[in-house]
């Protein structure tokens, strides 16, 4: 896996990629496959309701969070909380932001002790490599938790983009574009595989072929409504559809 440096600051990836010529994907011309991690390659092991509750509780140390904050995904909740605190308790927003990220990272790494790869995952990744198809992981999880669940991930995938390595996480297209730039592959020749409508939305946003899997909490109808081009039982089944 090519080495990466954690990203801070504003990304120009969207502008960079818009200048590239992309095409409608043809299965025989597939050059790269991007995968979500939790629920796609490994068993879901994080209680996101508990995690959001913990972040809201932490926010209470700084100000009373508005009711609508509880409806956000946890990373978006932290960002919104930082902005809310900067307006209502200025000067403490960065402290909250740092504590919140440490909190969820600890919960992720603790939860990763219960995680395990789905059967056939490694064989599928090696098979894609044997067919000259590049592979990447795009996850909102932290790198420490990913490597705890999949210690030899570097030898199985060409690039791993956790939240530390992108300015904006999926469903923002920058997350996938960061991986595609690292893989030197246009989105029109790539597929995005995930268990959540958010993964499908991210793939559609960059123009990739999208594949939903049923190993997470989302049903086929939700993935189909999000626009999935193909729905399969598990990620390892992708080999049968190439």
More confident residue, 142 or 17: 142
- Residue 65 confidence (pLDDT) above 80: yes
Residue 191 has phi, psi (to 5 degrees) of -125, 145
CA distance 242 to 129: 13
CA distance 147 to 135: 16
Q: Can you tell me the mean pLDDT for 14-35? A: 62
pLDDT range class, residue 31, cuts 50, 70, 90 = very high
Percentage of the chain lying above the pLDDT 90 cut: 80
Residue found under tokens 């440096």: 5
Would you state the pLDDT for residue 112?
87
pLDDT range class, residue 131, cuts 50, 70, 90 = very high
Answer yes or no: are the C-beta atoms of 212 and 195 closer than 8 Å: yes
- Residue 11 confidence (pLDDT) above 90: no
Would you state the pLDDT for residue 17?
47
DSSP secondary structure letters along 6-71: ---S---HHHHHHTS------GGG--EEEE--BTTTB-----HHHHHHHHHHHHTTTSPPPGGGGG
Closest alpha carbon to 169 in 63, 26, 72: 72
CA distance 99 to 78: 10
Strongest mean pLDDT among 2-11, 25-34, 45-54, 191-200: 191-200
pLDDT range class, residue 27, cuts 50, 70, 90 = low
CA distance 132 to 115: 29
- Residue 86 confidence (pLDDT) above 90: yes
Would you state the pLDDT for residue 111?
87
Q: Can you tell me the mean pLDDT for 159-174? A: 96
Q: Can you tell me the mean pLDDT for 131-136? A: 96
Residue found under tokens 């504003």: 10
- Residue 5 confidence (pLDDT) above 70: no
Would you state the pLDDT for residue 6?
56
DSSP category for residue 218: -
- Residue 76 confidence (pLDDT) above 60: yes
């Amino acid at each position: 896996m090519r080495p990466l440096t954690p990203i801070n600051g504003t990304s120009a990836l969207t502008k960079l990629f818009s200048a590239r010529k992309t095409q409608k994907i043809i299965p025989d011309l597939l050059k790269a496959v991007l995968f979500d991690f939790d629920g796609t390659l490994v068993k879901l092991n994080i209680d996101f309701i508990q995690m959001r509750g913990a972040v809201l509780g932490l926010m209470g140390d700084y100000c009373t969070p508005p009711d609508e904050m509880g409806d956000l995904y946890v990373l978006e909740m932290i960002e919104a909380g930082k902005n809310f605190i900067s307006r209502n308790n200025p000067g403490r927003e960065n402290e909250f932001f740092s504590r919140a990220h440490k909190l969820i990272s600890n919960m992720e790494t603790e939860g990763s002790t219960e995680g395990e790869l789905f059967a056939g995952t490694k064989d599928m990744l090696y098979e894609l490599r044997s067919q000259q198809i590049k592979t990447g992981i795009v996850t909102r999880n932290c790198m420490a938790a990913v490597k705890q669940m999949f210690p030899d991930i570097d030898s199985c995938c060409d690039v791993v983009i956790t939240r530390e390595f992108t300015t904006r996480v999926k469903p923002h297209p920058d997350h996938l574009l960061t991986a595609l730039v690292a893989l030197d592959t246009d989105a029109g020749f790539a597929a995005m595989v995930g268990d959540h409508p958010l993964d499908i939305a991210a793939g559609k946003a960059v123009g990739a072929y999208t594949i939903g899997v049923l190993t997470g909490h989302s049903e086929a109808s939700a993935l189909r409504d999000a626009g999935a081009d193909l729905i399969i039982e598990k990620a390892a089944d992708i080999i049968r559809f190439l």
